[in-house]
Amino acid sequence: MLVVFGLVFFTGDREPKPKLGIDLQGGTSVVLQAVTPDGKAPDGDKMEQARDIINKRVNGLGVSGSEVKISGRNLIITVPGSDGDQARTLGQTAQLKVRPVLGSQPAAAVNTPAPDLTDPAAAKKAIDEARATRQATDPAAQKKAIESLNCNNPSDPLAGNDDPAKPLITCDRPEERKKDQPRTVYTLGPAIIDGQSIKNASSGIPQNQVQYVVTLEFTGEASKVWADFTSKNVGKQAAFVLDSQVITAPNINGPITGGQTQITGDFNQQTAGDLAGVLKYGSLPLSFKPGTAQTVSATLGFESLKAGLIAGAIGLFLVLIYALAYYRALGVLVALSLALSIALLYGLLVLLGRWIGYSLDLAGIAGVIIGIGMTADSFVVYFERIKDEIREGRSFRSAVPRGWASARRTIWTGNAVSLLSAVVLYVLAVGGVQGFAFTLGLSTILDIVIVFLVTHPLVYFSSKTDFFAKPSMNGLGAVAAIGRERKRAAATTGEETA
Protein backbone atom coordinates (compact mmCIF):
# COMPACT_ATOMS: atom_id res chain seq x y z
CA MET A 1 0.00 0.00 0.00
CA LEU A 2 2.76 2.43 0.98
CA VAL A 3 4.79 1.50 -2.09
CA VAL A 4 1.86 1.95 -4.49
CA PHE A 5 0.83 5.36 -3.17
CA GLY A 6 4.44 6.42 -2.77
CA LEU A 7 4.78 5.88 -6.52
CA VAL A 8 1.47 7.69 -7.13
CA PHE A 9 2.44 10.85 -5.24
CA PHE A 10 6.20 11.00 -5.82
CA THR A 11 6.73 9.82 -9.41
CA GLY A 12 5.53 10.96 -12.83
CA ASP A 13 3.17 13.93 -12.83
CA ARG A 14 2.17 13.18 -9.19
CA GLU A 15 -1.50 13.59 -10.08
CA PRO A 16 -3.57 10.98 -8.16
CA LYS A 17 -6.08 10.60 -10.98
CA PRO A 18 -6.47 7.71 -13.42
CA LYS A 19 -6.33 8.44 -17.12
CA LEU A 20 -9.86 8.44 -18.53
CA GLY A 21 -10.93 7.09 -21.91
CA ILE A 22 -12.42 8.95 -24.84
CA ASP A 23 -15.96 7.95 -23.87
CA LEU A 24 -15.64 9.69 -20.49
CA GLN A 25 -13.42 12.74 -21.03
CA GLY A 26 -13.19 13.16 -24.81
CA GLY A 27 -9.94 13.32 -26.72
CA THR A 28 -7.95 14.80 -29.57
CA SER A 29 -8.19 13.81 -33.22
CA VAL A 30 -5.43 14.33 -35.79
CA VAL A 31 -5.75 13.62 -39.53
CA LEU A 32 -2.62 12.24 -41.22
CA GLN A 33 -2.54 12.52 -45.02
CA ALA A 34 -0.52 9.92 -46.92
CA VAL A 35 2.17 11.35 -49.22
CA THR A 36 3.57 9.13 -51.98
CA PRO A 37 6.69 9.85 -54.09
CA ASP A 38 4.77 9.48 -57.37
CA GLY A 39 1.83 11.57 -56.18
CA LYS A 40 -0.67 8.77 -56.78
CA ALA A 41 -3.26 7.49 -54.32
CA PRO A 42 -1.67 5.22 -51.68
CA ASP A 43 -2.02 1.46 -51.98
CA GLY A 44 -4.86 0.07 -49.85
CA ASP A 45 -2.72 -2.70 -48.38
CA LYS A 46 -0.07 -0.19 -47.33
CA MET A 47 -2.73 1.98 -45.69
CA GLU A 48 -3.95 -1.05 -43.73
CA GLN A 49 -0.38 -1.88 -42.74
CA ALA A 50 0.21 1.71 -41.64
CA ARG A 51 -3.01 1.66 -39.61
CA ASP A 52 -1.96 -1.55 -37.86
CA ILE A 53 1.52 -0.19 -37.03
CA ILE A 54 0.17 3.10 -35.67
CA ASN A 55 -2.44 1.20 -33.66
CA LYS A 56 0.36 -0.86 -32.09
CA ARG A 57 2.32 2.28 -31.33
CA VAL A 58 -0.54 4.01 -29.57
CA ASN A 59 -2.33 0.94 -28.26
CA GLY A 60 0.34 -1.72 -27.91
CA LEU A 61 -1.35 -3.38 -24.92
CA GLY A 62 -4.88 -2.75 -26.15
CA VAL A 63 -5.89 -0.67 -23.13
CA SER A 64 -5.09 2.96 -24.05
CA GLY A 65 -8.56 3.60 -25.48
CA SER A 66 -7.16 5.14 -28.68
CA GLU A 67 -8.62 4.70 -32.15
CA VAL A 68 -7.04 4.62 -35.62
CA LYS A 69 -9.29 4.69 -38.70
CA ILE A 70 -8.77 4.88 -42.48
CA SER A 71 -10.62 7.50 -44.52
CA GLY A 72 -9.52 7.57 -48.15
CA ARG A 73 -5.85 8.60 -48.21
CA ASN A 74 -6.06 9.79 -44.59
CA LEU A 75 -5.54 8.11 -41.24
CA ILE A 76 -7.60 9.55 -38.39
CA ILE A 77 -5.99 9.07 -34.97
CA THR A 78 -8.01 9.79 -31.84
CA VAL A 79 -6.29 9.68 -28.45
CA PRO A 80 -7.69 10.40 -24.97
CA GLY A 81 -6.92 13.82 -23.53
CA SER A 82 -5.81 16.99 -25.24
CA ASP A 83 -2.26 16.13 -26.33
CA GLY A 84 -2.34 16.65 -30.08
CA ASP A 85 1.46 16.44 -30.29
CA GLN A 86 1.28 12.82 -29.14
CA ALA A 87 -1.05 11.94 -32.01
CA ARG A 88 1.22 13.71 -34.51
CA THR A 89 4.23 11.80 -33.18
CA LEU A 90 2.41 8.56 -33.88
CA GLY A 91 2.33 9.47 -37.55
CA GLN A 92 6.09 9.58 -37.88
CA THR A 93 7.25 7.27 -40.63
CA ALA A 94 9.88 6.16 -38.10
CA GLN A 95 12.44 5.11 -40.67
CA LEU A 96 15.56 5.00 -38.54
CA LYS A 97 18.94 4.90 -40.25
CA VAL A 98 22.44 5.05 -38.85
CA ARG A 99 24.72 7.13 -41.07
CA PRO A 100 28.35 8.24 -40.69
CA VAL A 101 28.79 11.99 -40.16
CA LEU A 102 30.97 13.50 -42.90
CA GLY A 103 30.60 17.09 -41.70
CA SER A 104 28.39 19.56 -39.81
CA GLN A 105 27.94 23.32 -39.50
CA PRO A 106 25.42 25.85 -38.16
CA ALA A 107 22.37 26.23 -40.37
CA ALA A 108 22.25 29.28 -42.63
CA ALA A 109 19.57 31.90 -42.05
CA VAL A 110 17.48 31.35 -45.16
CA ASN A 111 13.75 31.79 -45.73
CA THR A 112 13.01 29.15 -48.33
CA PRO A 113 9.21 28.62 -48.35
CA ALA A 114 7.90 25.29 -47.06
CA PRO A 115 6.88 22.89 -49.84
CA ASP A 116 3.21 22.07 -50.33
CA LEU A 117 2.85 18.37 -49.52
CA THR A 118 -0.95 18.30 -49.54
CA ASP A 119 -1.18 18.32 -53.34
CA PRO A 120 0.04 14.97 -54.78
CA ALA A 121 1.69 16.54 -57.83
CA ALA A 122 3.41 19.24 -55.78
CA ALA A 123 4.56 16.64 -53.23
CA LYS A 124 6.13 14.47 -55.95
CA LYS A 125 7.95 17.48 -57.40
CA ALA A 126 9.24 18.52 -53.95
CA ILE A 127 10.51 15.00 -53.20
CA ASP A 128 12.29 14.70 -56.55
CA GLU A 129 13.93 18.12 -56.15
CA ALA A 130 15.04 17.34 -52.59
CA ARG A 131 16.59 14.04 -53.67
CA ALA A 132 18.41 15.72 -56.54
CA THR A 133 19.92 18.47 -54.38
CA ARG A 134 20.26 17.10 -50.85
CA GLN A 135 21.33 13.61 -51.92
CA ALA A 136 23.80 14.64 -54.59
CA THR A 137 27.25 13.03 -54.64
CA ASP A 138 28.96 16.09 -56.17
CA PRO A 139 30.68 18.24 -53.47
CA ALA A 140 29.69 21.49 -55.20
CA ALA A 141 26.03 20.44 -55.26
CA GLN A 142 26.25 19.41 -51.62
CA LYS A 143 27.68 22.81 -50.66
CA LYS A 144 24.84 24.56 -52.47
CA ALA A 145 22.28 22.35 -50.71
CA ILE A 146 23.81 23.16 -47.31
CA GLU A 147 23.67 26.91 -47.95
CA SER A 148 20.06 26.84 -49.18
CA LEU A 149 18.55 24.38 -46.67
CA ASN A 150 15.95 26.00 -44.40
CA CYS A 151 15.96 23.99 -41.16
CA ASN A 152 12.95 25.90 -39.83
CA ASN A 153 10.51 24.55 -42.40
CA PRO A 154 7.83 22.56 -40.54
CA SER A 155 7.64 19.83 -43.20
CA ASP A 156 10.44 17.95 -44.92
CA PRO A 157 9.69 16.30 -48.29
CA LEU A 158 12.46 13.76 -47.64
CA ALA A 159 10.93 12.59 -44.34
CA GLY A 160 10.88 8.84 -44.86
CA ASN A 161 11.63 9.28 -48.59
CA ASP A 162 15.43 9.60 -48.70
CA ASP A 163 17.56 7.01 -50.51
CA PRO A 164 19.64 5.13 -47.90
CA ALA A 165 22.31 4.26 -50.47
CA LYS A 166 23.15 7.93 -51.14
CA PRO A 167 24.58 10.77 -49.01
CA LEU A 168 22.15 13.08 -47.23
CA ILE A 169 22.16 16.76 -46.35
CA THR A 170 19.78 17.30 -43.44
CA CYS A 171 19.12 19.12 -40.17
CA ASP A 172 18.92 18.12 -36.56
CA ARG A 173 15.45 17.78 -35.05
CA PRO A 174 14.21 20.94 -33.30
CA GLU A 175 13.18 18.82 -30.29
CA GLU A 176 16.77 17.71 -29.72
CA ARG A 177 18.25 21.16 -29.09
CA LYS A 178 17.75 23.89 -26.54
CA LYS A 179 15.92 27.07 -27.51
CA ASP A 180 19.06 29.21 -27.52
CA GLN A 181 21.03 26.78 -29.69
CA PRO A 182 21.15 27.25 -33.49
CA ARG A 183 20.07 24.46 -35.80
CA THR A 184 22.79 22.28 -37.30
CA VAL A 185 23.14 21.05 -40.87
CA TYR A 186 24.78 17.64 -41.27
CA THR A 187 26.44 16.03 -44.26
CA LEU A 188 25.91 12.29 -43.86
CA GLY A 189 27.21 9.27 -45.72
CA PRO A 190 25.13 6.32 -46.97
CA ALA A 191 23.27 4.39 -44.27
CA ILE A 192 25.05 1.44 -42.64
CA ILE A 193 22.04 0.20 -40.59
CA ASP A 194 18.31 0.74 -41.06
CA GLY A 195 15.25 0.34 -38.85
CA GLN A 196 14.52 -3.15 -40.14
CA SER A 197 17.61 -4.29 -38.25
CA ILE A 198 16.16 -3.29 -34.87
CA LYS A 199 15.08 -6.29 -32.81
CA ASN A 200 13.81 -4.30 -29.83
CA ALA A 201 13.67 -0.75 -28.48
CA SER A 202 13.10 0.41 -24.91
CA SER A 203 13.46 3.57 -22.86
CA GLY A 204 14.65 4.30 -19.34
CA ILE A 205 17.35 5.83 -17.18
CA PRO A 206 20.51 3.68 -17.13
CA GLN A 207 22.25 2.98 -13.86
CA ASN A 208 24.41 5.86 -12.60
CA GLN A 209 22.79 8.27 -15.08
CA VAL A 210 20.08 10.90 -14.72
CA GLN A 211 18.90 11.32 -18.32
CA TYR A 212 16.42 9.17 -20.23
CA VAL A 213 17.84 7.24 -23.19
CA VAL A 214 16.44 4.91 -25.85
CA THR A 215 18.18 1.54 -25.96
CA LEU A 216 18.28 -0.31 -29.27
CA GLU A 217 18.92 -4.01 -29.70
CA PHE A 218 20.11 -4.95 -33.18
CA THR A 219 19.66 -8.20 -35.06
CA GLY A 220 22.64 -10.52 -35.46
CA GLU A 221 23.87 -9.18 -38.81
CA ALA A 222 23.40 -5.54 -37.82
CA SER A 223 25.28 -6.20 -34.56
CA LYS A 224 28.32 -7.28 -36.57
CA VAL A 225 28.05 -4.24 -38.87
CA TRP A 226 27.79 -1.87 -35.88
CA ALA A 227 30.73 -3.48 -34.07
CA ASP A 228 32.87 -3.30 -37.22
CA PHE A 229 31.87 0.31 -37.96
CA THR A 230 32.56 1.56 -34.42
CA SER A 231 35.90 -0.27 -34.36
CA LYS A 232 37.07 1.47 -37.55
CA ASN A 233 35.69 4.94 -36.73
CA VAL A 234 36.80 5.67 -33.17
CA GLY A 235 36.82 9.43 -32.60
CA LYS A 236 34.33 10.10 -35.39
CA GLN A 237 30.57 10.67 -35.25
CA ALA A 238 27.66 8.41 -36.14
CA ALA A 239 24.25 10.00 -36.71
CA PHE A 240 20.97 8.35 -35.73
CA VAL A 241 18.55 9.68 -38.33
CA LEU A 242 14.78 9.40 -37.87
CA ASP A 243 12.64 10.32 -40.86
CA SER A 244 15.60 12.11 -42.48
CA GLN A 245 16.36 14.28 -39.44
CA VAL A 246 19.25 13.76 -37.01
CA ILE A 247 18.17 12.77 -33.51
CA THR A 248 21.67 12.60 -32.11
CA ALA A 249 25.20 12.34 -33.50
CA PRO A 250 27.44 11.05 -30.70
CA ASN A 251 31.18 10.59 -30.88
CA ILE A 252 32.39 7.01 -31.05
CA ASN A 253 34.64 6.47 -28.04
CA GLY A 254 35.43 2.84 -28.75
CA PRO A 255 34.16 -0.37 -30.32
CA ILE A 256 30.54 -1.19 -29.35
CA THR A 257 29.87 -4.91 -29.27
CA GLY A 258 27.05 -7.00 -27.83
CA GLY A 259 24.34 -5.92 -30.25
CA GLN A 260 23.05 -2.97 -28.20
CA THR A 261 23.49 0.78 -28.36
CA GLN A 262 21.83 3.84 -26.87
CA ILE A 263 20.28 6.94 -28.41
CA THR A 264 20.83 9.96 -26.19
CA GLY A 265 19.21 13.36 -26.41
CA ASP A 266 17.17 15.86 -24.46
CA PHE A 267 14.57 13.20 -23.65
CA ASN A 268 12.03 13.05 -20.86
CA GLN A 269 9.98 9.99 -19.92
CA GLN A 270 7.26 10.76 -22.48
CA THR A 271 9.47 11.57 -25.47
CA ALA A 272 11.84 8.65 -24.82
CA GLY A 273 8.91 6.26 -24.50
CA ASP A 274 7.29 7.60 -27.68
CA LEU A 275 10.49 7.20 -29.68
CA ALA A 276 11.08 3.68 -28.36
CA GLY A 277 7.49 2.81 -29.26
CA VAL A 278 7.67 3.98 -32.87
CA LEU A 279 10.99 2.19 -33.39
CA LYS A 280 9.87 -1.00 -31.68
CA TYR A 281 6.81 -1.55 -33.85
CA GLY A 282 8.53 -0.77 -37.14
CA SER A 283 8.49 1.96 -39.74
CA LEU A 284 5.44 2.97 -41.73
CA PRO A 285 5.25 1.92 -45.39
CA LEU A 286 4.07 5.43 -46.29
CA SER A 287 4.94 9.00 -45.36
CA PHE A 288 2.26 11.11 -43.72
CA LYS A 289 1.72 14.83 -43.41
CA PRO A 290 0.18 15.67 -40.02
CA GLY A 291 -2.80 17.98 -39.89
CA THR A 292 -4.17 20.15 -37.12
CA ALA A 293 -5.51 18.68 -33.90
CA GLN A 294 -9.23 18.85 -33.15
CA THR A 295 -11.00 18.29 -29.86
CA VAL A 296 -13.39 15.31 -29.72
CA SER A 297 -16.26 15.46 -27.24
CA ALA A 298 -16.87 12.65 -24.79
CA THR A 299 -19.34 10.11 -26.17
CA LEU A 300 -20.78 9.37 -22.73
CA GLY A 301 -19.51 12.15 -20.53
CA PHE A 302 -19.19 12.88 -16.85
CA GLU A 303 -22.80 12.02 -16.06
CA SER A 304 -22.32 8.45 -17.28
CA LEU A 305 -19.15 8.15 -15.20
CA LYS A 306 -20.98 9.56 -12.20
CA ALA A 307 -23.88 7.13 -12.69
CA GLY A 308 -21.51 4.18 -12.96
CA LEU A 309 -19.64 5.18 -9.81
CA ILE A 310 -22.89 5.72 -7.90
CA ALA A 311 -24.12 2.27 -8.96
CA GLY A 312 -20.85 0.74 -7.79
CA ALA A 313 -20.99 2.64 -4.49
CA ILE A 314 -24.57 1.50 -3.85
CA GLY A 315 -23.61 -2.11 -4.56
CA LEU A 316 -20.61 -1.85 -2.24
CA PHE A 317 -22.75 -0.25 0.49
CA LEU A 318 -25.30 -3.08 0.29
CA VAL A 319 -22.52 -5.67 0.49
CA LEU A 320 -21.13 -3.99 3.62
CA ILE A 321 -24.58 -3.77 5.24
CA TYR A 322 -25.14 -7.47 4.53
CA ALA A 323 -21.70 -8.37 5.93
CA LEU A 324 -22.22 -6.34 9.11
CA ALA A 325 -25.74 -7.67 9.67
CA TYR A 326 -24.87 -11.31 8.99
CA TYR A 327 -21.31 -11.57 10.30
CA ARG A 328 -21.29 -8.60 12.72
CA ALA A 329 -17.72 -7.93 13.88
CA LEU A 330 -16.36 -10.13 11.10
CA GLY A 331 -18.12 -7.74 8.73
CA VAL A 332 -15.74 -5.02 9.94
CA LEU A 333 -12.84 -7.16 8.69
CA VAL A 334 -14.67 -7.47 5.36
CA ALA A 335 -15.00 -3.68 5.18
CA LEU A 336 -11.30 -3.18 5.94
CA SER A 337 -10.28 -5.73 3.31
CA LEU A 338 -12.57 -4.23 0.66
CA ALA A 339 -11.34 -0.70 1.44
CA LEU A 340 -7.74 -1.84 1.05
CA SER A 341 -8.56 -3.67 -2.19
CA ILE A 342 -10.30 -0.62 -3.68
CA ALA A 343 -7.47 1.71 -2.62
CA LEU A 344 -4.81 -0.56 -4.12
CA LEU A 345 -6.81 -0.97 -7.33
CA TYR A 346 -7.24 2.80 -7.65
CA GLY A 347 -3.54 3.41 -7.10
CA LEU A 348 -2.59 0.76 -9.65
CA LEU A 349 -4.95 2.26 -12.25
CA VAL A 350 -3.29 5.65 -11.75
CA LEU A 351 0.18 4.12 -12.19
CA LEU A 352 -0.85 2.02 -15.19
CA GLY A 353 -2.17 5.16 -16.86
CA ARG A 354 1.33 6.66 -16.54
CA TRP A 355 3.35 3.56 -17.35
CA ILE A 356 1.45 1.83 -20.17
CA GLY A 357 -1.11 4.47 -21.15
CA TYR A 358 -4.08 2.58 -19.70
CA SER A 359 -7.29 4.61 -20.04
CA LEU A 360 -10.21 3.82 -17.77
CA ASP A 361 -13.46 3.74 -19.71
CA LEU A 362 -17.00 2.69 -18.78
CA ALA A 363 -16.28 -0.94 -19.70
CA GLY A 364 -13.25 -0.86 -17.42
CA ILE A 365 -15.36 0.49 -14.56
CA ALA A 366 -17.74 -2.45 -15.08
CA GLY A 367 -14.78 -4.82 -14.78
CA VAL A 368 -13.72 -3.13 -11.53
CA ILE A 369 -17.20 -3.44 -10.01
CA ILE A 370 -17.48 -7.12 -10.95
CA GLY A 371 -13.99 -7.76 -9.58
CA ILE A 372 -14.86 -6.13 -6.25
CA GLY A 373 -18.00 -8.27 -6.10
CA MET A 374 -15.87 -11.37 -6.57
CA THR A 375 -13.65 -10.24 -3.69
CA ALA A 376 -16.71 -10.05 -1.45
CA ASP A 377 -17.74 -13.50 -2.67
CA SER A 378 -14.38 -14.88 -1.51
CA PHE A 379 -15.09 -13.58 1.99
CA VAL A 380 -18.46 -15.32 2.00
CA VAL A 381 -16.87 -18.62 0.94
CA TYR A 382 -14.31 -18.31 3.75
CA PHE A 383 -16.83 -17.47 6.46
CA GLU A 384 -19.25 -20.18 5.37
CA ARG A 385 -16.49 -22.77 5.65
CA ILE A 386 -15.82 -21.53 9.19
CA LYS A 387 -19.52 -21.95 9.97
CA ASP A 388 -19.42 -25.52 8.63
CA GLU A 389 -16.61 -26.33 11.05
CA ILE A 390 -18.47 -24.74 13.97
CA ARG A 391 -21.54 -26.83 13.12
CA GLU A 392 -19.36 -29.86 13.67
CA GLY A 393 -18.90 -28.73 17.25
CA ARG A 394 -15.56 -26.92 17.02
CA SER A 395 -14.82 -23.61 18.66
CA PHE A 396 -14.37 -20.44 16.64
CA ARG A 397 -10.62 -20.54 17.32
CA SER A 398 -10.17 -24.09 16.01
CA ALA A 399 -12.69 -23.63 13.17
CA VAL A 400 -10.75 -20.79 11.51
CA PRO A 401 -7.65 -22.75 10.34
CA ARG A 402 -9.78 -25.75 9.33
CA GLY A 403 -12.26 -23.56 7.47
CA TRP A 404 -9.41 -21.74 5.72
CA ALA A 405 -7.85 -25.02 4.56
CA SER A 406 -11.13 -25.88 2.85
CA ALA A 407 -12.02 -22.37 1.61
CA ARG A 408 -8.72 -21.53 -0.02
CA ARG A 409 -9.09 -24.33 -2.56
CA THR A 410 -12.49 -22.99 -3.58
CA ILE A 411 -11.17 -19.42 -3.69
CA TRP A 412 -8.21 -20.47 -5.82
CA THR A 413 -10.47 -22.35 -8.24
CA GLY A 414 -13.01 -19.54 -8.56
CA ASN A 415 -10.37 -16.88 -9.15
CA ALA A 416 -8.48 -19.10 -11.59
CA VAL A 417 -11.64 -19.46 -13.70
CA SER A 418 -12.24 -15.70 -13.56
CA LEU A 419 -8.63 -14.91 -14.47
CA LEU A 420 -8.67 -17.39 -17.34
CA SER A 421 -11.87 -15.81 -18.68
CA ALA A 422 -10.30 -12.36 -18.44
CA VAL A 423 -7.18 -13.52 -20.30
CA VAL A 424 -9.23 -15.13 -23.09
CA LEU A 425 -11.35 -11.98 -23.47
CA TYR A 426 -8.26 -9.77 -23.50
CA VAL A 427 -6.51 -11.85 -26.17
CA LEU A 428 -9.51 -12.37 -28.46
CA ALA A 429 -11.38 -9.08 -28.08
CA VAL A 430 -10.64 -5.51 -29.13
CA GLY A 431 -11.60 -2.05 -27.96
CA GLY A 432 -13.67 -1.60 -24.82
CA VAL A 433 -13.94 -5.34 -24.17
CA GLN A 434 -10.16 -5.46 -23.72
CA GLY A 435 -10.44 -2.71 -21.11
CA PHE A 436 -13.14 -4.70 -19.30
CA ALA A 437 -11.01 -7.86 -19.38
CA PHE A 438 -7.95 -5.96 -18.17
CA THR A 439 -9.61 -4.50 -15.06
CA LEU A 440 -11.40 -7.79 -14.35
CA GLY A 441 -8.10 -9.67 -14.45
CA LEU A 442 -6.38 -7.03 -12.31
CA SER A 443 -9.21 -7.13 -9.75
CA THR A 444 -9.03 -10.93 -9.67
CA ILE A 445 -5.31 -10.89 -8.92
CA LEU A 446 -5.88 -8.31 -6.17
CA ASP A 447 -8.65 -10.52 -4.76
CA ILE A 448 -6.17 -13.36 -4.30
CA VAL A 449 -3.60 -11.03 -2.74
CA ILE A 450 -6.08 -9.41 -0.33
CA VAL A 451 -7.78 -12.64 0.80
CA PHE A 452 -4.53 -14.55 1.33
CA LEU A 453 -2.36 -11.77 2.74
CA VAL A 454 -4.89 -9.55 4.53
CA THR A 455 -8.28 -11.11 5.23
CA HIS A 456 -7.14 -14.54 6.41
CA PRO A 457 -4.42 -13.16 8.73
CA LEU A 458 -6.92 -10.67 10.19
CA VAL A 459 -9.51 -13.39 10.84
CA TYR A 460 -6.88 -15.79 12.20
CA PHE A 461 -5.48 -13.33 14.75
CA SER A 462 -8.97 -12.09 15.61
CA SER A 463 -10.00 -15.66 16.46
CA LYS A 464 -7.37 -15.62 19.21
CA THR A 465 -9.11 -12.74 21.00
CA ASP A 466 -11.99 -13.07 23.44
CA PHE A 467 -13.87 -10.24 21.73
CA PHE A 468 -14.24 -11.97 18.35
CA ALA A 469 -14.72 -15.38 19.97
CA LYS A 470 -18.03 -14.23 21.47
CA PRO A 471 -20.97 -15.58 19.38
CA SER A 472 -22.77 -12.29 19.92
CA MET A 473 -19.91 -10.47 18.18
CA ASN A 474 -18.98 -12.83 15.35
CA GLY A 475 -22.57 -13.61 14.36
CA LEU A 476 -21.99 -17.34 14.69
CA GLY A 477 -24.16 -17.94 17.78
CA ALA A 478 -26.82 -19.95 15.91
CA VAL A 479 -24.35 -22.34 14.28
CA ALA A 480 -22.43 -22.61 17.57
CA ALA A 481 -25.67 -23.76 19.23
CA ILE A 482 -26.14 -26.36 16.49
CA GLY A 483 -22.58 -27.53 17.07
CA ARG A 484 -23.15 -27.90 20.81
CA GLU A 485 -26.38 -29.79 20.17
CA ARG A 486 -24.61 -32.17 17.81
CA LYS A 487 -21.85 -32.77 20.34
CA ARG A 488 -24.42 -33.55 23.05
CA ALA A 489 -26.27 -35.86 20.68
CA ALA A 490 -23.04 -37.62 19.77
CA ALA A 491 -22.11 -37.96 23.43
CA THR A 492 -25.56 -39.34 24.31
CA THR A 493 -25.38 -41.83 21.45
CA GLY A 494 -21.96 -42.93 22.67
CA GLU A 495 -23.22 -43.49 26.22
CA GLU A 496 -26.21 -45.51 24.99
CA THR A 497 -23.94 -47.66 22.83
CA ALA A 498 -21.62 -48.24 25.77
Q: Has residue 13 been placed in a domain?
A: no
Q: What is the pTM of this model?
A: 0.67
- 81 and 211 in a single domain? The answer is no
**Averaged pLDDT, 10-14:** 80
Identify which has the larger pLDDT, 413 or 295. 413
292 band by pLDDT with thresholds 50, 70 and 90:
low
Q: Is 3 exposed, middle or buried (0-12, 13-18, 19+ CB in 10 A)?
A: exposed
pLDDT value of residue 92: 65
Identify which has the larger pLDDT, 84 or 107. 107
Domain final residue, candidates 68, 88, 108: 88
Lowest mean pLDDT segment, chosen from 213-227, 294-308, 388-402, 405-419: 294-308
pLDDT value at 177 more than 70: no
- 393 and 279 in a single domain? The answer is no
Phi–psi pair at 102, nearest 5 degrees: -95, -20
CA dihedral for 243, 245, 247, 248, sign (positive or negative): positive
pLDDT value at 400 more than 80: yes
127 band by pLDDT with thresholds 50, 70 and 90:
confident
Q: Has residue 14 been placed in a domain?
A: no
Q: Has residue 330 been placed in a domain?
A: yes
Please say whether the beta carbons of 449 and 441 come within 8 A.
no
- 84 and 100 in a single domain? The answer is no
- Residue 467's Cβ-side half-sphere holds a number of Cα atoms within 13 Å equal to 6
Report the distance separating Cα 257 and Cα 96, nearest Å: 20
Domain final residue, candidates 69, 88, 107: 88
Q: What is the CATH number of the domain that holds 70?
A: 3.30.70.3400
401 band by pLDDT with thresholds 50, 70 and 90:
very high
Lowest mean pLDDT segment, chosen from 40-44, 55-59, 177-181, 456-460: 177-181
- 268 and 326 in a single domain? The answer is no
Range of the domain at 337: 297-495
301 band by pLDDT with thresholds 50, 70 and 90:
low
pLDDT value of residue 439: 92
pLDDT value of residue 176: 59
- Number of folded domains that form the chain: 3
CA dihedral for 133, 138, 139, 140, sign (positive or negative): negative
| H helix or E strand, kind and range, residue 220 | helix 220-232
232 band by pLDDT with thresholds 50, 70 and 90:
very high
| H helix or E strand, kind and range, residue 347 | helix 329-355
**Residue 94: other Cβ atoms inside 10 A:** 23
Alpha helix ranges (H) inside 328-469? 329-355, 362-391, 396-428, 432-450, 456-462, 466-469
Question: What residue type is assigned to position 361 of the chain?
Answer: D
Please say whether the beta carbons of 298 and 26 come within 8 A.
yes
- 212 and 280 in a single domain? The answer is yes
Instruction: Give, as one character, the DSSP assignment of residue 151.
Output: T
- 337 and 391 in a single domain? The answer is yes
**Residue 133: other Cβ atoms inside 10 A:** 16
pLDDT digits (tens, 9 = 90+) for 245-284: 898 888 898 899 888 888 887 788 878 887 787 777 766 7
**Averaged pLDDT, 330-336:** 89
Report the distance separating Cα 371 and Cα 394, nearest Å: 33
**β-sheet bridge partners, residue 263:** 214
pLDDT value at 347 more than 90: yes
Q: What is the mean pLDDT of the chain?
A: 83
Give the SS3 label for residue 398: helix
Domain final residue, candidates 261, 293, 325: 293
- 211 and 321 in a single domain? The answer is no
- 100 and 71 in a single domain? The answer is no
Q: In this prediction, what percent of the chain has a pLDDT beyond 90?
A: 26
pLDDT value of residue 415: 93
Report the distance separating Cα 132 and Cα 145, nearest Å: 10
Identify which has the larger pLDDT, 200 or 481. 200
- 82 and 116 in a single domain? The answer is no
